[in-house]
Chains A and B, each alone.
Chain A
């Protein structure tokens, strides 16, 4: 028992591991997912089908998967990280060659029993690989240009592959998630300053490229930027998403219209109401109180992850936990910023709430790793 042997480092083994699971995180995940079920039930007009029920099944599977991964010693995950990364790269390549096309983008791989989205999986395997890399790399070499170039290549390869699908949202998430781990690992801040400066330059170049022969983004992406800057210009056309989303959100008011009473979402004014824009339904039906409550739940998950990471002396564990937490943070922050009209519309789901199998399972795998790091923490 750890509290009797406080001077002795102790790592739980065998079935005792269950006692050391990070239960606060597990409970928070269940609460967020439950909110998701509720909203999917609501947008289906008070029905478990077609969304709520499959979502619940998937969450159950994901939860068990999380527990399973948590029981596996952390060093195993560190050792398989490079292999996992390579496999995901291979899957991404496969998608590019023979993937299904959905919503104008080639993202899905139909494996028969599950429609897998390798770009989602990449978010986790990239974090694992980078954490393992910095665990292996001596601290003195972290800021050496050569040892910086290597992880940058690891990040850019999948990012570019995802970008060609095209899936701007995931690409941004990969880039930001990977960058966050490099930052945490202690890469010198001048690199980040340089990247940010370069980023501003690239954005300028992209905007300048419009209409020229070397145009860097698709027209639809440019249009999204346009409508973001001025959604009122074309409220029924390209600005439709943002305008309708803001209307739904704003009309919720302080306490919302009440469960199942959201006129905007119930009447299909909202685009993608069960996936990327599900937050608007929540905000409309439960108002500011509901919206901020969900935000608080997400914040608590991040908080517990950060606490777990910072108390873990294992470098891989700490980096992995913070990396996954950051990925999770990017998910919901980008999604919420998008539906509240702070940033342009990019296809990023609300984690654990939006309807969707791949994202849900991948996130649960990620939290399985977080749990594993926590369980196998020496105490």
Chain B
């Protein structure tokens, strides 16, 4: 390489110039990089550090164990059982379809399950576990576990699920849980993070919903350090949650079962109440359904069937249903008149079969009339005209006051959904609600529990218990929480004249035990368990004068949903009341034929604590009762069996 030195010098000058230029550009780039780092690491450091913390630490919720529900004798009504499911992770599975096929051979997945799983596996991140099969059995889980080597990425997981071993018996009381829906979330102001967990169950109806907060408990948390794949590297700390409270109900599961079974497929409700403590021993409504259907996600056809059934199985009629109380309201009217000294028990009213009030004719149920009636005979034979006259004298305000005193028109604080307050009408109420003045005819209708008066079977049971004891007994459904006894509903004396109460109780005794009583055919023969009651039949619609003339008054001739409601209330034993019972049969016809026999059977079952001897029944009924006992015995729950139920 020989080159003139001039050229070398020239070349070197150019290289120097260009070299410095290039070096300058590089210095510029370096300065840019340094400024960029300063921006990220000094100016924005705070924000990035926060993001990094989010990246690194996951707060995981430890779902609390839901509180269990027992009956008054400790029989379990709602419990938690292990529920198994199978998840799959794409990253670990490799050939997803082959693994799914192998899994299918083991536990038989539906084509729909496979399609959903494939879709999920395709769209989600590779390290997210996808639920392939939910609610699989222990056998299936073990089969998967044994074959684990052939199923990469497949993990059997265990959680807790709610189950109701007594099935339909407690549906209307306890309700059921289900997955949290958008609707549930919309009703809650600040949703607990727990509710957002997949597969978390929340109370939907009944006690499960009403006592949700108590039963749910408090979630624990654990802070874990995770890597980018979401895999837990280690646990940083852990805060144990608080399991939900265990509830013991006042209800006796055997009596509840009997009551529910006795109502059968009727559209009916029954309440049994302890007159001493106010404990609700049975709160039944029929038809019922298996709450476990809802826990596991009910099929739309099943749900539609429940929804469209005209007997409304989804409604807890014992507390949510309100009905005109019919003649069972007559004790209220009588007591109001007695307390206000408008009548004495001995005063008589002549019943001609009807009275004329303000140009309207009000009929007695007995067209021919009862003749001269005093308090005792009027209640016993349920004469309407007697009470029409009483109402005209007493006035709606005093009747309503007495109704409230006896527990009607009040929303009781029992842990069920949509407990109805019923309706005890007053002049003010009508003006406010209807914009009309109270007319005298309204009082006449109210006197026989028709018109505006509405009461639920629960309220009628409370009323009966108060008549039986003279105390303001109020219902109690939760006996103890975590073993802590709750206040009883014993109640204070109602400040009623004991002679008046005794007169009414005697009349109620005659209803069931005098051969002219409306419920004589449903009497109890066992001396120490004699019961006192009152029938009621409430009209669903008005009988038009045309119909009356045409003679279509027989209930059996009407379509089911236009027939009268049948009611019966009673307490027993007469001399030392222990229980109060109310029974309602929707569109059952007459209270004496449809409701009284059911109330009698329930009363006997409650007092004997088991099937009563046939000697307690009138001789001509014994064969039928025996067959009935046989049939209902088959519906009893198995003897105490608290082994974990299979999921």
Interface residues of A in 255-313 (CB under 8 A from B): 263-264, 267-270, 283, 287-288, 291-292, 295, 298-299, 302-303, 306, 309-310, 313
A139, B7: Cβ atoms closer than 8 Å: yes
Q: Which residues of B contact A183 (CB under 8 A)?
A: 18, 22
| Interface flag for A379 (CB, 8 Å) | no
A246, B48: Cβ atoms closer than 8 Å: yes
Q: How many whole Å from A292's CB to the nearest CB in chain B?
A: 6
Interface residues of B in 1-44 (CB under 8 A from A): 1, 7-8, 10-12, 14-16, 18-20, 22-23, 26-27, 29-30, 32-34, 36-38, 40-42, 44
Docked CA distance A309–B30 (Å): 20
A292, B37: Cβ atoms closer than 8 Å: yes
Docked CA distance A28–B3 (Å): 35
Q: Which residues of A contact B342 (CB under 8 A)?
A: none
- Segment from A52-60, A111-119, A333-341, A348-356 that makes contact with B: A333-341
Q: How many whole Å from B450's CB to the nearest CB in chain A?
A: 68
Interface residues of B in 312-355 (CB under 8 A from A): none
| Interface flag for A184 (CB, 8 Å) | yes
B26, A302: Cβ atoms closer than 8 Å: yes
Docked CA distance A267–B7 (Å): 60
**Dominant secondary structure of chain B at its interface with chain A:** helix
Query: B27, B41, B51: which contacts A253 (Cβ < 8 A)?
Result: B41
Interface residues of A in 232-249 (CB under 8 A from B): 236, 244, 246-249
| Interface flag for B55 (CB, 8 Å) | yes
A184, B22: Cβ atoms closer than 8 Å: yes
Closest to B36 in A: A340
| Interface flag for B102 (CB, 8 Å) | no
Q: Which residues of B contact A341 (CB under 8 A)?
A: 36, 40
Docked CA distance A260–B45 (Å): 19
| Residue tally, chain A, CB below 8 Å to B | 52
B228, A333: Cβ atoms closer than 8 Å: no
Task: Given A253-B49, A306-B19, A326-B22, answer yes or no on A295-B228 (Cβ-Cβ < 8 Å).
Answer: no
Q: Which residues of B contact A185 (CB under 8 A)?
A: 15, 18
| Interface flag for B229 (CB, 8 Å) | yes
Q: How many whole Å from B84's CB to the nearest CB in chain A?
A: 30
B40, A250: Cβ atoms closer than 8 Å: yes
Docked CA distance A264–B29 (Å): 27
Query: A249, A292, A329, A340: which contacts B26 (Cβ < 8 A)?
Result: A329
**Dominant secondary structure of chain A at its interface with chain B:** helix
Q: Which residues of B contact A138 (CB under 8 A)?
A: 7
Docked CA distance A252–B46 (Å): 9
Task: Given A267-B225, A302-B23, answer yes or no on A248-B14 (Cβ-Cβ < 8 Å).
Answer: no
Q: Which residues of B contact A186 (CB under 8 A)?
A: 11, 14-15, 18
| Interface flag for A171 (CB, 8 Å) | no
Task: Given A184-B22, A186-B14, answer yes or no on A269-B33 (Cβ-Cβ < 8 Å).
Answer: no
A336, B33: Cβ atoms closer than 8 Å: yes
| Interface flag for B300 (CB, 8 Å) | no
Docked CA distance A340–B44 (Å): 13
B40, A292: Cβ atoms closer than 8 Å: no
Closest to B30 in A: A299
| Interface flag for A319 (CB, 8 Å) | yes
Q: Which residues of B contact A264 (CB under 8 A)?
A: 52, 55-56
Closest to B14 in A: A186
Q: Which residues of B contact A180 (CB under 8 A)?
A: 22
Q: Which residues of B contact A32 (CB under 8 A)?
A: none
Q: How many whole Å from A72's CB to the nearest CB in chain B?
A: 17
A251, B48: Cβ atoms closer than 8 Å: yes
| Interface flag for B227 (CB, 8 Å) | yes
Q: Which residues of B contact A249 (CB under 8 A)?
A: 37, 40-41, 48
A247, B12: Cβ atoms closer than 8 Å: no
| Interface flag for A23 (CB, 8 Å) | no
Docked CA distance A288–B40 (Å): 9
Query: B27, B33, B42, B125: which contacts A340 (Cβ < 8 A)?
Result: B33
A318, B30: Cβ atoms closer than 8 Å: no
| Interface flag for A365 (CB, 8 Å) | no
Task: Given A250-B47, A267-B225, A340-B33, answer yes or no on A315-B41 (Cβ-Cβ < 8 Å).
Answer: no
| Interface flag for A126 (CB, 8 Å) | no
B15, A184: Cβ atoms closer than 8 Å: yes
Query: A291, A298, A315: which contacts B8 (Cβ < 8 A)?
Result: A315
Q: How many whole Å from A333's CB to the nearest CB in chain B?
A: 5
A267, B18: Cβ atoms closer than 8 Å: no
Query: B12, B22, B30, B40: which contacts A333 (Cβ < 8 A)?
Result: B30
Q: How many whole Å from B13's CB to the nearest CB in chain A?
A: 10
Interface string of A320-339 (1 = CB under 8 A from B): 00100010010001001100
Docked CA distance A183–B15 (Å): 9
Docked CA distance A348–B309 (Å): 71
B42, A253: Cβ atoms closer than 8 Å: yes
Docked CA distance A333–B20 (Å): 18
Docked CA distance A135–B16 (Å): 15
Q: How many whole Å from A351's CB to the nearest CB in chain B?
A: 14
B56, A318: Cβ atoms closer than 8 Å: no
Please name 12 pairs of A and B residues whose Cβ atoms are closer than 8 Å in the assembled complex, sorted by A: A183-B18, A186-B18, A247-B55, A248-B52, A250-B40, A250-B48, A263-B225, A264-B56, A268-B227, A291-B37, A315-B12, A329-B26
Residues of chain B touching chain A, judged by Cβ–Cβ distance below 8 Å, are 1, 7-8, 10-12, 14-16, 18-20, 22-23, 26-27, 29-30, 32-34, 36-38, 40-42, 44-45, 47-49, 51-52, 55-56, 125, 225-229, 233
Per CB-CB distance, the 10 closest pairs between chain A and chain B, nearest first, are: A250-B48, A251-B52, A288-B41, A253-B45, A251-B49, A268-B227, A186-B14, A269-B228, A267-B227, A251-B48
